[in-house]
């Protein structure tokens, strides 16, 4: 099992989510995060004084998949998150030791499978 | 700010300078004949007659209420925008109100309410006019030069203030469709044309004594239009400008998916929206009841009551329709229903009987909900201005042709004295109302479309995609409306960050706890 962690621009998220859902990966978690990288900060002006903002807002995606699916996830994120400008973000792939589905107590790879008929968008 | 932006800003400043200079020259040249209101000894008001004083007081109070409506528009638009586009609305409302006020002073008032068939040409530019023309001592300034309002003894300056606030309301309505994506400079450029030319002409025709109000234009036999406080003159004109802007501006990014289906872009603050609606509701008492320009004849409380009853019916009708159509009790539609009903009753408030008010309001409440659902499928109107001010404005204007009471038509002395359809059994008044809607819409749409088209081709109408994503607050104004939501606490002084200088105790004001 691998956890794919990606830091991306906000506007890239929606197409990624839609594609992953279509490919059969409905399970993911996101967080609103702020961080710094090579992207420059911005300076705001308030009544003649300035405040410089080095930490830029990003979306952090976490998605745990079987080893064989890892590349699909990474490719999907790369396809939608890349604008070619500094600040597109980064992807990390991290090994995961074990997983459990809390509702059933199952563990291992089957916890990563979407059940048939589940995981679709609410009607 | 970009270099074009800077150039536009400089140009605006220069234009303002010229604007301020012209009347000074004019007054110097014409001093004996056209003394300005406040600088000539002979024209300082002395004692008002009690009647004049009471009328004038009411008009100024009403103008104050209408000016307060700017706060209502600001909060309504802020509530319906996302949190990244809220500070810009504060700047916009203040800028537009200021431009409207100055343009009204420069030429708007003279064009709108002076005597004349197509535009006012009896003086009043920069508020200079023949003093005491009708011989009324103490502030009867040139009442006869503004014939459409001369039925009231309130001073011309109070009427000037009151009608200025109307012009500012009409202008505020224009921008409801353009939220979250328009360049700030476009507000400035269009506002000058709108408040200086488009609104004054439209308002003059409909309720400033122009050809639509007087009737029998070109011998067509169409009676004069009845628009008490401006369902057409203020609301439809504003909404028509909004439509022209929207067609050239396009939808907000992401409003329509690849499949062309509209997606909701929820506003960020329903409580502020609600407060905005309540402020507009209260302001509307000034708007409609103030349009009597008269407290002595005792008509104004009834007009105010009619206005509130209509609004109440509009809220309930809109909620009911929204509940039936979508299954939810829509907060926004409650507010839209109130606004639409108020717009709908605006034309009729001085012409219809109290029993007709809930009917007119309820129909407006139904129209606005269905209108918003239909319009949203194709064009992106974030606050529903096209429905609430446009469609409801059309309905309100037509409603006069149906419900006008003969006695009130005679009392106000405009239109068919036989009253509306249900009293007279004749379509005469209804035809006049429909004709006015068509003329006003056509004129304002063409003028506004051309103006916005020129702005689009020269200055640009819309911010870039990056600026739109970042939000207008940061891209146009350099600062967020809600900084704590967008700037990490770690970087905000007082929330996380300590300025570098303070840490070593050499800052302009050292923090004693840090330096100790």
pLDDT digits (tens, 9 = 90+) for A41-100: 888 888 888 888 888 889 999 999 999 999 999 999 999 999 998 989 999 999 999 999
Q: Are B491 and A42 inside 8 Å of each other by CB? A: no
Report residue B498's pLDDT band, with 50, 70 and 90 as the boundaries: low
Query: Is B257 part of the contact surface with chain A (CB cutoff 8 Å)?
Result: no
Q: Which residue has the higher pLDDT, B508 or B276?
A: B276
Distance CA B467, CA B5 (A): 14
Q: Is A40 on the interface with B (CB under 8 A)?
A: no
Residues of B in contact with A51 (CB under 8 A): 483, 487, 491-493
Identify the helix (H) or strand (E) that includes residue A64: strand A56-65
Q: Which residue of A has its CA nearest to B253?
A: A11
Tokens 């939501």 appear where? B485
Q: Are B74 and B86 in contact (CB under 8 A)?
A: no
Please state which of the ranges A22-26, B19-23, B169-173 shows the lowest mean pLDDT: B19-23
Across B205-225, average pLDDT? 90
The pLDDT of residue B121 is 87
- Nearest CB to B490; choose among A52, A55, A57: A55
pLDDT of the residue at B46: 57
Q: Please tell me the distance from the alpha carbon of residue B198 to that of residue B441, in angstroms, as a whole number.
A: 11
Q: Measure Cα distances from B253 to A80, B242, B250, B293, B468 in Å.
A: 17, 18, 9, 45, 8
**Under CATH, to which class is B3-40+59-470 assigned?**
mainly alpha
Confirm if B135 and B220 have CB atoms less than 8 A apart: no
Q: pLDDT tens-digit profile of B32-65?
A: 333 334 434 444 455 678 888 899 999 999 999 9
User: Hey, is A46 helix, strand or coil?
Assistant: strand
pLDDT greater than 70 at residue B18 = no
- Residue by residue, DSSP assigns A81-118 as H--SSTT--EEEEEE----B-TTT--BSGGGGSPPTT-
| Residue labelled with tokens 């702005």 | B455
In a 10 Å sphere around its CB, with 0-12 CB exposed, 13-18 middle and 19+ buried, how is residue B111 labelled?
A: buried
For residue B492, the chain A residues in CB contact (below 8 A) are 51
For residue B489, give the DSSP letter. G
Query: What mean pLDDT, rounded, does chain B reach?
Result: 88
Q: Residue B452 in contact with residue B222, Cβ under 8 Å?
A: no
Q: Is the dihedral of CA B53, B59, B62, B66 positive or negative?
A: negative
**Measured in Å, how far apart are chain B's first and last C-alpha atoms?**
42
Shortest CA distance from B258: residue in chain A: A15
pLDDT of residue B2: 53
For residues B49 and A81, give the distance between their C-alpha atoms in angstroms, rounded to a whole number: 74
From chain B, the residues in CB contact with A45 under 8 A are 478-479
Q: What is the pLDDT of residue B196?
A: 96
B503: confidence class by pLDDT, cuts 50, 70, 90: low
Tell me the residue length of chain A: 123
A42 touches chain B (CB under 8 A): yes
> With pLDDT > 70 as the criterion, what percentage of chain B qualifies?
85
The pLDDT assigned to B134 comes to: 46
C-beta of residue B36 within 8 angstroms of C-beta of residue B128: yes
Q: CA of B466: which chain A residue's CA is closest?
A: A11
Measure the CA–CA gap between A115 and B11, rounded to whole angstroms: 64
The DSSP string of B367-412 is HHHHHHHHHHTTS--TT-HIIIIIIHHHHHHHHHHHH--HHHHHHH
pLDDT reported for residue B3: 58
Average pLDDT over residues B65-72: 97
Please give the C-alpha separations between residue B224 and each of A29, A63, B210, B428, B515, in angstroms, as whole numbers: 65, 70, 10, 10, 78
Distance CA B121, CA B112 (A): 9
For the stretch B277-301, pLDDT in tens is: 999 999 999 999 999 999 999 999 9
| Residue B359, both tokens | 């009917």
The interface predicted TM-score (ipTM) is 0.77
Closest CA to A46 of B439, B479, B471, B345: B479
pLDDT digits (tens, 9 = 90+) for B84-108: 999 999 999 999 999 999 999 999 9
Of the two residues B490 and B332, the one the predictor is more confident about is B332
Radius of gyration, alpha carbons of chain B: 24
B94: which 2 tokens? 């203040």
Q: Which of A11, A44, A57 sits opposite B478 (nearest CB)?
A: A44
Tokens 């528009």, located at residue:
B73
Category of B211 on φ-ψ map: left (φ > 0), alpha (ψ -120 to 50) or beta:
alpha
Query: With bands split at pLDDT 50, 70 and 90, how would you rate the model's confidence at B502?
Result: low
Give me the residue from A11, A45, A55 closest to B478, CB to CB: A45
How many CB atoms neighbour CB A25 within 10 A? Answer: 21
Nearest-angstrom CA–CA distance, B112 and B505: 63
Architecture of the domain spanning A2-112:
2-Layer Sandwich (3.30)
Residue of B nearest to A9 (CA): B469
Q: For residue A6, what are the contacts with CB-CB under 8 A and spacing of at least 6?
A: A60, A61, A63, A77, A81, A89, A90, A91, A92
Nearest to B375 by CA among B388, B365, B364: B388
Q: How confident is the model at residue B123 (pLDDT cuts 50, 70, 90)?
A: confident
Mean pLDDT for the stretch of residues A3-32: 93
pLDDT tens-digit readout, B142-162? 777 888 898 998 888 899 999
Say what the pLDDT of residue B32 is: 36
Listed by start position, the domains of chain A span: 2-112
Of residues B145 and B78, which shows the higher confidence score? B78
pTM of this structure: 0.86
Strand order in the sheet with A56-65: A29-35, A56-65, A2-8, A90-95
**Over the stretch B380-409, which tens digit does the pLDDT of each residue have?**
999 999 999 999 999 999 999 999 999 999
| pLDDT score for B22 | 61
Q: Which chain B positions have a beta carbon within 8 Å of A52's beta carbon?
A: 491
State the pairing for strand pair A56-65/A29-35.
antiparallel
Where is pLDDT greater, at B22 or A51? Answer: A51
Q: Output B486 or A65, whichever has higher pLDDT.
A: A65
Lowest pLDDT segment from A105-119, B82-96, B464-478: A105-119
Which chain B residues are Cβ-neighbours of A57 within 8 angstroms? 486
Neighbouring C-beta atoms of residue A83, cutoff 10 Å? 11
Locate the domains of chain B by residue range. Answer: 3-40+59-470, 482-515
- Give the best residue of A11, A36, A44, A80 to mutate against chain B (max B CB count within 10 A): A44
Q: What are phi and psi of B398, to 5 degrees?
A: -65, -35
The Cα–Cα gap between A53 and A35 comes to: 10
Q: Could you give the C-alpha distances from B430 to B56, B226, B268, B403, B404, in angstroms and in order? A: 33, 10, 41, 10, 10
Query: Do residue B483 and residue A44 have CB atoms under 8 angstroms apart?
Result: yes
pLDDT at A39: 79
CA dist A58 and A36 (Å) reads: 10
pLDDT tens digits along B227-261 = 999 999 999 999 999 999 999 999 999 899 888 89
Q: Which residues are CB-contacts of B24 (< 8 A; sequence separation ≥ 6)? A: none
Cβ neighbourhood burial of B235 (10 Å; 0-12, 13-18, 19+): buried
Average pLDDT (B58-77) is 97
Annotate B203-234 with b (16+ C-beta within 10 A) or e (fewer).
Answer: bbbbbbbbbbbebebeeeebbbbbbbbbbbbb
């Amino acid at each position: 099992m691998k956890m794919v962690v990606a830091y991306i621009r906000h506007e890239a998220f929606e197409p990624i989510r839609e594609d992953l859902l279509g490919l059969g990966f409905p399970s993911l978690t996101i967080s609103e995060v702020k961080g710094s990288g090579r992207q420059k900060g911005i300076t705001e002006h308030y009544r003649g004084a300035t405040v410089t903002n080095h930490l830029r807002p990003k979306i952090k995606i976490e998605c745990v998949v079987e080893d064989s699916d890892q590349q699909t996830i990474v490719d999907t994120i790369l396809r939608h998150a890349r604008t070619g400008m500094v600040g597109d973000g980064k992807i990390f792939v991290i090994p995961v030791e074990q997983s459990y589905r809390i509702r059933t107590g199952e563990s291992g790879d089957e916890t990563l499978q979407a059940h048939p008929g589940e995981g679709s968008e609410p009607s | 700010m970009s270099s074009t932006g800077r150039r536009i800003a400089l140009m605006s400043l220069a234009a303002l300078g010229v604007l301020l200079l012209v009347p000074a020259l004019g007054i110097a040249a014409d001093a004996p004949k056209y003394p300005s209101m406040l600088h000539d000894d002979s024209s300082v008001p002395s004692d008002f007659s009690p009647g004049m004083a009471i009328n004038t007081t009411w008009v100024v109070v009403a103008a104050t209420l209408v000016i307060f409506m700017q706060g209502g528009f600001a909060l309504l638009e802020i509530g319906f925008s996302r949190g990244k586009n809220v500070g810009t609305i504060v700047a916009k409302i203040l800028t537009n109100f200021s431009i409207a006020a100055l343009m009204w002073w420069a030429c708007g008032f003279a064009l709108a309410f002076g005597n004349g068939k197509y535009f006012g040409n009896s003086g009043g530019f920069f508020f200079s006019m023949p003093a005491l023309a009708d011989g009324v001592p103490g502030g009867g300034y040139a009442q006869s030069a503004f014939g459409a309002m001369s039925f009231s003894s309130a001073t011309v300056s109070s009427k000037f203030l009151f009608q200025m606030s109307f012009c500012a309301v009409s202008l505020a309505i224009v921008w409801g469709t353009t939220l979250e994506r328009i360049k700030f400079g476009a507000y400035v450029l269009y506002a000058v044309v709108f408040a200086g030319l488009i609104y004054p002409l439209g308002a003059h025709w409909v309720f400033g004594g122009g050809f639509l109000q007087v009737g029998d234009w070109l011998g067509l036999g169409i009676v004069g239009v009845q628009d008490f406080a401006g369902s057409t003159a203020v609301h439809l004109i504003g909404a028509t400008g909004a439509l022209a802007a929207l067609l050239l501006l396009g939808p907000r990014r992401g409003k329509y998916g690849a499949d062309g289906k509209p997606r909701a872009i929820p506003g960020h603050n329903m409580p502020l929206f609600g407060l905005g609606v309540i402020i507009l509701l209260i302001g509307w008492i000034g708007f409609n009841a103030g349009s009597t320009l008269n407290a002595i004849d005792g008509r104004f409380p009834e007009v105010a009551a009619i206005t509130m009853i209509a609004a109440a019916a509009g809220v309930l009708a809109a909620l009911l329709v929204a509940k039936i159509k979508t299954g939810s009790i829509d907060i926004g539609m409650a507010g839209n229903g109130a606004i639409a009903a108020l717009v709908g009753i605006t034309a009729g408030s001085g012409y219809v009987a109290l029993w007709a008010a809930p009917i007119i309001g309820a129909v407006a409440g139904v129209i606005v909900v269905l209108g918003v659902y239909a319009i949203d499928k194709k064009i992106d109107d974030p606050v529903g201005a096209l429905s609430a001010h446009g469609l409801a404005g059309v309905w309100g204007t037509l409603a006069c042709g149906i419900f006008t009471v003969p006695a009130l038509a005679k009392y106000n002395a405009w239109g068919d004295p036989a009253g509306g359809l249900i009293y007279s059994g004749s379509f005469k008044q209804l035809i006049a109302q429909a004709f006015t809607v068509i003329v006003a819409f056509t004129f304002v749409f063409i003028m506004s479309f051309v103006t916005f088209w020129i702005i689009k081709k020269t200055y640009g109408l819309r911010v870039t995609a990056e600026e739109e994503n970042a939000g207008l607050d940061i891209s146009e104004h350099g600062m967020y409306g809600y900084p704590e939501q967008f700037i990490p606490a770690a970087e905000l002084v007082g929330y996380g960050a300590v300025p570098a200088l303070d840490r070593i105790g050499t800052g302009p004001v050292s923090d004693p706890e840090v330096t100790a």
